[in-house]
Amino acid sequence: MFFDRLSRLLNDAFRPKPKYITVTPVSSAGPAQMLPPSKLPRHVAIIMDGNGRWAQSRGMPRSAGHAAGTEALRDIIRASDDWGIEALSLYAFSTENWSRSKEEVGALMGLLLKYFNSEIDELDAKHVKITILGDVDGMPEPQREALRNAMVRTKDNAGLKLNIAVNYGGRAELVRAAKALAAQVKDGALEPEAIDEAAFEGQLYTAGLPDVDLLIRTSGELRTSNFLPWQLVYAEMVFDDCFWPDFDRTRYLKCLRAYAERDRRFGGRNEPAEAAPAKPTQPSETET
């Protein structure tokens, strides 16, 4: 066990990093596109929206849209791993999604279970580390077990950090963090004055991960919908009009390109040296 873990760590540490990510467009005969890894976001979050409309526009049940969406998700996870993205967070099921019809919730629960059972071997072999963001205890038993197994089995992996938000609500995550800190204060383990942003971040499902650099949402909706409110504060946002089942590597790369062209200032100013404001000059004695 120990040697197995050690060999994985060494493998990951010495895995050659690609100089460029290269993608051949799926649907056109255009040239392969390249992007230097230094321009890649460390953490990508995706709101996979539009499964229902994709299905309805084809006269199919909504569950067929979710099944097609799962295929898209499979390839976007592989692409993120191939391209050396550090962390990928996917919004799979929100706390609000329980209010959908019994059939739709049942279909989503079935897909979750099927996905984890069928993909876990490949993900683990690729050293993907799976973290579930959300209230796993509130899930039905078979799903709870599959999600827990996936987390336990991959916890020491050093590859892509794959976060899947299930039974997740952003405000609920913040309340949970506040409660955890309050409990530490009550127990005398933490001084209220010691509560700072780092302490708060340490209580989130994403503790230890970099903030989200790029948020992608499909289907043309322009909202964040209670997804990662703390982690998104400085995220660049890219919206794609396609429904999620149509999202592919070519579209993903287009989003990464748009990100690479953004000027991120984090509230400061990125001024080229020559454009820096000149020091105020003292009025000369002859000036009036």
Residues that bind ligand FPP (CB under 6 A): 48-53, 66, 69-70, 73, 92, 97, 108, 111-112, 115, 164, 219, 244
Q: Which of 267, 196, 254 is closest to 23 using CA atoms?
A: 254
Query: Which listed residue (75, 82, 97, 246) is catalytic?
Result: 97
Q: Report the 10 Å Cβ neighbour count for 120.
A: 17
Q: Is there a contact between 46 and 76 (Cβ–Cβ < 8 Å)?
A: yes
Largest CA distance in the chain: 86
Terminal CA-CA length for the chain: 82
86 vs 104, which CB is nearer to ligand FPP? 104
CA distance 30 to 34: 12
State the minimum distance, in angstroms, from the CB of residue 99 to ligand FPP.
11
**Closer residue to ligand FPP, CB minimum distance, 21 or 249:** 249
- As measured in angstroms, the least distance from the Cβ of 160 to ligand FPP is 15
Set 4, 11, 12, 49: catalytic member: 49
Q: Which is nearer to ligand FPP, 53 or 148 (CB)?
A: 53
Nearest CB to ligand FPP, comparing residues 177 and 212: 212
Residue 162 β-bridge partners: 88, 130
Task: Please confirm, yes or no, whether 51 is among the known catalytic residues.
Answer: no
Beta bridge partners of 23: 33
> Closest distance between ligand FPP and the C-beta of residue 229, in Å?
18
Strand 236-240 to 214-218 pairing: parallel
Compute the least distance from the CB of residue 240 to ligand FPP, in Å.
Answer: 14
Alpha carbons 43 and 66: distance in angstroms, whole number: 24
Please indicate whether residue 241 is annotated as part of the active site: no
List residues with catalytic annotation.
49, 97
